[in-house]
Amino acid sequence: MPVTTVSAAVHITPVVIKTFLKHTKNKARRLKASQEDSIPQDDIFFDEAFNIVKAFIELGTKNTVESLQAFTNTHVPAPYWALVRPIVVPFSSCNEAADALIEWFGPDELKYVVGGERWWQVRGLNGVDAEWVAEQQDVGPNHKTHPTTGAKLKSAEADIVRLEKLDKVMYYIHGGGYFWGSINTHRYQILHYAQKFKGRAFTVNYRKAPQYPWPCALQDVLAGYLYLIHPPPEAFHKPVPPSKIVLAGDSAGGGLCLSLLTILRDLELPMPAGAVLISPWVDLTHSFPSVMQNTPTDIIPQYGFLAKPSTLWPLPTKPENGGRVVKTVSNEPPEPGKAEPLDPELALHNRKKQDNDDVYGPGKPVKSQQEMLDSSGQTPSSSNPVTPDDNEGLEDEDLDLYEPKPPKVLMENPNATPLELRSQIQLYASTEQLTHPLVSPILQGSLGNLPPLYILGGDGEVLRDEIIYLAHKAAHPEQYPARSGILRSGRQKENSKKFTKPTKVHLQIFDGMCHVLTVFMFTQTASYAYRSIAEFVNHVTKYDEAHLERNPFPELHQPPEVIPGVGDNVSGRGDEKESHILKKKTHTNPPSAQGDSEKGVEGNDSSASDVNIYLENRSVTIENVLENKADTLRSTTSLDPQTDIPGVIMVRERVDIHGEVRPMEPASSIPALQMKPSEIGIIKEAPAMRWATGQDLWDKRYAKHADKAIEQQARYKKKADRLIREALTQGFVHRSHGTANESTSSPQNPPEENTPPRKVRKRTSLGRIQALRRWGPLDLEDENPPKSAIAARRDTPEAVALLKKSIYYTAPATHLNIPRLKPMHALRAAFDPHDDPNKPPPQSVSEQQVTAHFIPVHGLRVWDNLLRYVGRKSKAKAVDGIKSTVGELPTISKSGH
């Protein structure tokens, strides 16, 4: 059964019941064992929500990739109180982003690492689906005409103009493992952010892997940013100043944010005011220890993101050459733990020096891992560039026929024979690409010279260690260099020397919390996180670059920022504690941190509770900084109530389950920060074998599905071939296939060499040639796209749909005409439920949103409603406690006395 609302309910209902029954028993057992430290699971609402999310993701692994994508990319209407306006980021912005990436990669990297410059620009839609998001009550009045041009506005256009009242923009990039999730799964969270910082949000539905693997998503998120700051003439919003934009993203979206920032930095494009990274996934090799340690306390499946076989995934559909992970049959290169370079000149040079035999053929005795590592130090490795003299003897045909050997796994026992991977292990990119700095940005040559970063993670999540390492690498670029193999790239080597300025970082790790803690927005910790993120957005978009260079942290701003709508008695303990600190350090009275309103934030007590936590934590942060418990350029022991605390590079904090902060332990006592650069971005035995164990179980469980998928692949390949043949008979002309007369020629009946192609009409059907659509699936000669990319495939239904749309409906500029469907073809299409000759075929669910027709209440809407219900119940309990506590405290006057 595919992933649907019904199947999710059937799968999750027993989990809800089981969790409820076990909750009281587990809590009583902990109390009996005198475990006084609280954990998030002590709250029944969190315990239920945690297990619901975990069960849903597990359900996704028991279905095909396309099924999970379709469910999480189903359009869900926005709530009535929200202003949500869908738009499309047009080809002009997409092409601008493509040109920037082409400049970043350079010709060699495009050819050998990316696989070309055309395939990743192929898309089914006419741009990137995107949305403007805000609260109705925060936007300006309706406009019937454009305030500048005077042109009449449609309703959707008028709403975009109304949004201009809100100058602050959060550009949110959603997560989902780079292959699932959408605007619809994250809309309620994005609305919550916009509500908190009183601004507007912009978000894109970027193309997902494996149909559109790296760097497709990167092009789309860059196009969205350029659309904001350089809108095309047809856009209805004014250019947004980069100083008013804050990037934000969770999980895969956090990784995309970081990669986007490094591209902007490297190309000297305008940078945003700051970025919020929530549980960013920045190491796709899984080389940090927490990946193996924290599985029981996280929502990520034990074996990773597996899937039931389909025509699309896994690759290969069934194990080949003895299995997906086997003992290596060749000596290095590549070295254990690494993939062979995709640059053939370097790889073939190493091979010739090593004098290795074929990958799968019989050769010299295979060495142990230690012997391979010892011998690799005597030959040029991936850390040393190849000189022109080294290339003598490399023939051109060697470069053309080059294929990288399977990546080897770094074994825990140095005397063991390394394993090698013969299957793709991540959906986002090929195994050879996983160590590219734009795939795994933890491997960037430097993360210095970036705008201020606010990084949040859970102590119980599998990505905890890479999150901590990322934050420290950004704040201290010279202390955490990239390994030498990464620095062989000219750009990364240059970056390591050029970008040495520390990035200002606020790192917070939340006790007991799992991956993307903001999903559980009803908890006190998440409530504080939303408020703290909002204050970060407000701060970095309010002040100029010089001010932010002195202090990008809102907690350290003096006088304290005014939070609109906070009443005199809302913050209670926080103001009392801050007053005490200020008096102790300066012997002066602090200014008021409250606004003039007597109501709580947003007019309700539940909002006042997160403000209260934030204000109290601000006081603790100030105290810790003054006690030299933060990374600073110079020591600060006194506080001027009218001047920011300057010179702080990094604020490092832990947050307990009640939302209260405390200083993080020294870097010297954090194991992840003791790792050597050579240990990072390496394919290691434990995570690789865990994945292989799970994949073997899936291969056996779904063996019949794999056989069926292979049969379907053959049928779709025939369908694609027939589609092209019929298009040629209908007058289609393209350089990759020629005319119909050329296609029917044979050695016995060759075409006349000097016969010019017959004249064709530019438009002969319902479709049209789009001048700004650069490339289509038939334009990929001489390119080497990843095996999963549907732009180059013909054996999946989505690949055929992309091909048909490109030929008949929205052709790229390279096509000379649009062929006309003959009556016979239209009649045949009428009997195919998946075909309609009068409109383009639906595109991949990794790109195009799905419209639900049968079930009025979709599972995503049910989840949103559940979050709101649990949030109301949880906050009601919290507010009762706050009211009783505040009632016991003395009232603090505005003067601070």
Specify if 535 maps to a domain. no
Q: Tell me, what's the pLDDT at 757?
A: 42
Give pLDDT tens digits for 800-832: 999 999 999 999 999 999 998 777 776 776 677
Per DSSP, helices labelled H in 110-250 are 155-162, 183-197, 216-229
Q: Which structure tokens are listed for 543?
A: 């002040």
Same domain, 384 and 236: no
Whether 841 shows a pLDDT value over 50: the answer reads: yes
Does residue 840 lie within any of the structural domains?
Answer: no
Q: What is the mean pLDDT of residues 642-661?
A: 93
* CB-based burial, 86-104: b 16+ in 10 Å, e otherwise: ebebbbbbbbebbebbeeb
Distance CA 611, CA 269 (A): 36
Tens digits of residue pLDDT in 266-305: 999 999 999 999 999 999 999 999 999 999 999 999 999 9
* Positions marked catalytic: 251
Crossing angle of helices 252-266 and 91-109, in 10° steps, is 70
More confident residue, 446 or 569: 446
- According to the model, what pLDDT value does residue 607 have? 56
DSSP single-letter state for residue 834: T
Strands (E), 630-698: 631-632, 648-655, 661-663
Distance CA 437, CA 266 (A): 12
How high is the pLDDT of residue 737? 64
Q: What is the pLDDT of residues 458-513, one digit of tens each?
A: 999 999 999 999 999 999 999 999 998 888 878 999 999 999 999 999 999 999 99
Q: What is the pLDDT of residue 151?
A: 74
Neighbours of 53 (CB within 10 A): 18
Q: Does any domain span residue 771? A: yes
Counting Cβ atoms within 10 Å, is residue 79 exposed (0-12), middle (13-18) or buried (19+)? middle
Determine what percent of the chain is predicted with pLDDT higher than 90: 59
Q: Pick from 473, 355, 335: which is nearest to 408 by CA?
A: 335
**Model pLDDT, residue 369:** 76
Q: Are both 380 and 495 inside the same structural domain?
A: no
Bridge partner residues of 88 (DSSP):
129
pLDDT band at 786 (very low <50, low <70, confident <90, very high): very high
Would residue 663 count as lying in a domain? no
Whether residue 47 is predicted with pLDDT greater than 90 in this model: the reply is: no
Q: Are residues 716 and 752 in the same domain?
A: yes
Over its C-alpha atoms, the chain yields an Rg (Å, rounded) of 29
- For 31, counting Cβ atoms within 10 Å of its Cβ (0-12 exposed, 13-18 middle, 19+ buried), the class is exposed
Q: State pLDDT tens for residues 73-128.
A: 999 888 889 999 999 999 999 999 999 999 999 999 999 999 999 999 999 999 99
Question: Which run of H or of E encompasses 245?
Answer: strand 245-250
119 lies in the same domain as 238? yes
> Averaged over 43-58, what is the pLDDT?
88
CA dist 529 and 519 (Å) reads 11
Beta bridge partners of 74: 850
> Do 174 and 295 share a domain, yes or no?
yes
Structure tokens at 107: 């010709």
DSSP percent split of the chain into helix, strand, coil, nearest 5: 45, 10, 45
CB 600 within 8 A of CB 570: yes
pLDDT tens-digit map of 148-180: 666 788 888 889 999 999 999 999 999 999 999
Per-residue pLDDT, 325:
93
Residue-wise pLDDT tens digits, 873-895: 555 555 455 454 444 444 433 33
Q: Domain of 493?
A: 82-302+438-509
Is residue 288 located within the same domain as residue 183? yes
Confidence of residue 404 (pLDDT cuts 50, 70, 90): low
Lowest average pLDDT, out of 336-345, 371-380, 542-551, 563-572, goes to 563-572
**pLDDT at position 599, please?**
33
* 396 has pLDDT over 50: no
Contact between 9 and 56 (Cβ < 8 Å): no
Summarised one tens digit per residue, pLDDT across range 582-630 is 444 433 333 333 333 333 333 344 456 889 999 999 999 999 998 888 8
Cβ-contact 531, 276 below 8 angstroms:
no
* Average pLDDT score over the chain: 83
CA dihedral 31, 37, 39, 44 (to 10 degrees): 40
Q: Please give the pLDDT value at position 865.
A: 60
Determine, yes or no, domain membership for 568: no
- Which among 602-606, 632-636, 774-778 has the top mean pLDDT? 774-778
Assess whether 130 and 37 both reside in one domain: no
Helix (H, G, I), strand (E, B) or coil at 409: strand
- Which stretches of 267-366 are DSSP H helices? 290-293, 344-354
With a CB cutoff of 8 Å and minimum separation 6, the contacts of 749 are none
854 within some domain: no
216 or 12: whose pLDDT is higher?
Answer: 216
Of 208, 212, 256, 220, the residue nearest 69 (C-alpha)? 208
507, β-bridge pairs: 455, 652
What whole-number percentage of the chain has pLDDT above 70?
77
Judgement on whether residues 67 and 92 belong to the same structural domain of the protein: no
pLDDT at 530 over 70: yes
pLDDT mean over 635-646 = 74
Last residue of a domain, one of 392, 421, 450: 421
Whole-number pLDDT of residue 285: 96
Supply the pLDDT for residue 518. Answer: 96
Q: Is the dihedral of CA 541, 604, 611, 890 positive or negative?
A: positive
Pick from 229, 226, 260: nearest CA to 243: 229
Cis peptide before 559 (omega within 30 of 0): yes
Coil/strand/helix, residue 151: coil
The enclosing H or E element of 420 equals: strand 419-421
Give the C-alpha distances (Å, rounded to integers) separating 89 from 202, 223, 224, 426, 501.
11, 7, 6, 28, 34
Mean pLDDT calculated for residue range 675-702? 96
Total domains in the fold of the chain: 4
* pTM, full prediction: 0.87
Grade residue 863 by pLDDT with cuts at 50, 70 and 90: low
pLDDT band, very low/low/confident/very high, at 790 (cuts 50, 70, 90):
very high
Q: Which of 193, 191, 167, 275 is nearest to 534 (CA)?
A: 193
Do residue 270 and residue 379 come from a single domain?
no
- Domain end among 72, 99, 125: 72
pLDDT at 744 over 80: no
Mean pLDDT within 425-430:
97
d(C-alpha 27, C-alpha 558), whole Å:
43
Q: How far apart are CA 252 and CA 185, in angstroms?
A: 14
Q: What is the largest CA-CA distance in the chain?
A: 102
Phi-psi region of 368 (alpha: psi -120 to 50; beta: other; left: phi over 0): beta
Q: Which of 32-41, 162-171, 565-574, 847-856 has the highest mean pLDDT?
A: 162-171
Domain limit, last residue, from 448, 480, 509: 509
Strand 200-204 vs strand 274-278: parallel, antiparallel, or unpaired? unpaired
- Predicted local distance difference test score (pLDDT) of residue 894: 38
Cβ atoms < 10 Å from Cβ of 8? 21
Q: What is the pLDDT of residues 206-251, one digit of tens each?
A: 999 999 999 999 999 999 999 999 999 999 999 999 999 999 999 9
Measured between alpha carbons, how far is 78 from 634 in angstroms, rounded to an integer? 49
Compute the average pLDDT of residues 382-397.
Answer: 42
More confident residue, 689 or 597: 689
Mean pLDDT of 116-144: 93
Pair (293, 357) in one structural domain:
no
The three-state secondary structure class of 83 is strand
Residue with tokens 């620095």: 487
Would 790 be classed as within a structural domain? yes
Confirm if 197 and 534 have CB atoms less than 8 A apart.
yes
| Cβ 339 vs Cβ 432: under 8 Å | yes
pLDDT of residue 299: 96
* Beta carbons within 10 angstroms of residue 844's beta carbon: 25
User: What's the pLDDT at 595?
Assistant: 35
Considering the domain architecture, whether residues 111 and 65 belong to the same structural domain is answered as no
- Confidence label for 734 from pLDDT (cuts 50, 70 and 90): confident
The answer to whether position 883 is within a domain reads: no
Residues 193 and 229 in one domain: yes
